[in-house]
Amino acid sequence: MDQRHLHLEHDGKLLLVDADGNGPKIPIPGRIDTGESGWIIRLPTEDEVDKMGIKWNKKRINTMDDGTHVHTVIYATPDIDWPANWAWKDHVISDSGVHPLARESVYRTMHRLVSKVIIRDNLGHILLGKVLRGHFKGFWTLPGGYLDYSEHPRIGAIREAYEEMGIDIVIADPKGESGEAHPGDDFCHIQERIFSGEGIQYVSFTYLVDLNERPEIKPKPDEIEEGEWFSLPDAILRAASIFDREALEALQRLEDES
């Protein structure tokens, strides 16, 4: 049976209620008591929010299957100025009394950050790698991957280029946003997308590095089968990731305009 819940969030605050739908309720960081039902506070239903007199605007719907029920979670923004007495969403994870669905719902809202790099040689060819594992196994992608904790996207792209292809690069950073300033073309294509009904959100940063000559490529044995250089149109056709394709297409448009 499908169960519906409302994830009502505004400025980092989340509406939670008790078993009877009374709220707002606040998580207690460090609480280990889960109550007789396995939880003490939860996400409200649409009817419970309506009874509170709160108007809201729907953003999207996610589905979550806990093995027993399929849950529909409506993500919405309340039509209020500031929910001062609501729960900070960052406190939800530290309270074992919060319903697992509410904690999972908060988890779904966290951005997954990815950093990629377009490495272009002096002939205008683009370096792609054929992937051995993960989402794009067997397909061609730009060098890149998930950002580490406390890592600037430029630094992450530099790290990934070395880890995947064994090459050292410098990404233009004329303003010194990632630390030391480096002159050059500050190309950065930023994209955001949710690819499935589960609602996992990805944000991708794609940078550009121009090389005077092709470096020796040393693909990481357990991750990249091979690296190859392609013309920009061929790279667009071969790139498996929509983030990669859109970044390469943005570069193509710049070339067409110049």
Are 126 and 160 part of one and the same domain? Answer: yes
Residue where one domain finishes, among candidates 74, 108, 142: 108
Are 103 and 116 part of one and the same domain? Answer: no
DSSP 165-232: H-------BTT-TTSS-B-S---EEEEEEE-STT--EEEEEEEEEE-SSPPPP---TTTEEEEEEE-H
Beta bridge partners of 112: 202
- Residues with Cβ within 8 Å of residue 2, at least 6 apart in sequence: 69, 70, 71, 72
Dihedral-angle region of residue 53 (phi above 0 means left; psi in -120 to 50 means alpha; beta otherwise):
left
Distance CA 112, CA 102 (A): 19
Kindly tell me the sign of the dihedral angle through the C-alpha atoms of 232, 233, 237, 238.
negative
pTM (two decimals): 0.88
Are 28 and 103 part of one and the same domain? Answer: yes
8-state DSSP, 45: P
What is the full per-residue pLDDT of the chain (258 aa) written as tens digits?
Answer: 568 999 999 999 999 999 999 999 999 999 999 999 999 999 999 999 999 999 999 999 999 887 788 899 999 999 999 999 999 999 999 999 999 999 999 999 999 999 999 999 999 999 999 999 888 899 999 999 999 999 999 999 999 999 999 999 999 999 999 998 999 888 999 999 998 888 999 999 999 999 999 999 999 999 999 999 999 999 999 999 999 999 999 999 999 997
CATH of the domain at 251: 3.90.79.10
Domain that holds residue 34: 2-108
- Dihedral in degrees, nearest 10, Cα atoms 41, 44, 47, 50: 110
Beta bridge partners of 61: 74
Are 196 and 233 part of one and the same domain? Answer: yes
Structural domain tally of the chain? Answer: 2
